[in-house]
Structure 1
């Protein structure tokens, strides 16, 4: 398979999406993509969480025990398309800045189907976390 650099540009997002496709993930199917914003202060995280809820976003908020940061995860059910991911990253980066937070990347479960597997074992998944621009 030859990479289409219009659809999968040579950057972190394009590389992750291309890797998902190469691994057999069907990118035409909607996935629940998780976008993260990190905060140093709980009060700012709470304010941002309320803002996102008013924007009708599905979120979770927790304190990372290792770093002490407050993390908001925004869950967006969408087809993993490059342009849409970039647009949402820009929006979440802007929102993070308004509340003294830092946008921290995206990730999703990739679903790979193998006809040879039994029905119970059809879903094989990996985490395509893009916070550091690398597949984990």
Structure 2
């Protein structure tokens, strides 16, 4: 399959989405995408968490003790189709929010949803 650079531009986000599609992930199905923001203090993270909750965002907050320095991480869970333009728009919003609360946007990720034809045939047979 030839890469459509309008749908999958040649940058980090486009490359991840293109790889997801190449791996068989159905990008027309909504995924729970996780966006992360890192903070150096608990107070900064809690202030940002309150802001995001007021914006009706689903979040989690935890202390990451495995990094070289102790960080507080907010993960924002957004249920959406993994579309390039939407991801870029949300990233810009999260970057702005992170900066307003002295944090740093730390990227996004999601679980892949890969269906094999054999799995579908078995499911269809069970429904008959």
User: What is the TM-score of this pair, normalised by structure 2?
Assistant: 0.91
Match of 1:116 among 115, 118, 121: 118
- Partner in structure 2 of residue 15 of structure 1: 15
Matches within 5 A, 1:1-136: 1-67=1-67, 68-117=70-119
Q: CA–CA distance in 2 between the matches of 1:115 and 1:83?
A: 29
Q: Which has the higher contact order (CA 8 A, sep 6+)?
A: 2
| Residue 106 of structure 1: how far off its partner (Å) | 0.1
Q: CA–CA distance in 2 between the matches of 1:115 and 1:8?
A: 25
Structure 2 spans left out of the alignment, 5+ residues = 124-128
Q: Which has the larger radius of gyration?
A: 2
User: What is the TM-score of this pair, normalised by structure 1?
Assistant: 0.85
Q: CA–CA distance in 2 between the matches of 1:115 and 1:11?
A: 30
Structure 1 spans left out of the alignment, 5+ residues = 120-136
Aligned residues: 119
| Residue 66 of structure 1: how far off its partner (Å) | 1.4
Deviations 1:16-56 (A, max 9, x none): 00000001011000000000000000000000000000000
| Residue 65 of structure 1: how far off its partner (Å) | 1.2
User: Any idea what SS the aligned residue of 1:3 has?
Assistant: coil
Deviations 1:74-108 (A, max 9, x none): 00000000000000000000000001000000000
Q: Which runs of 4+ in 1 moved over 4 A?
A: none
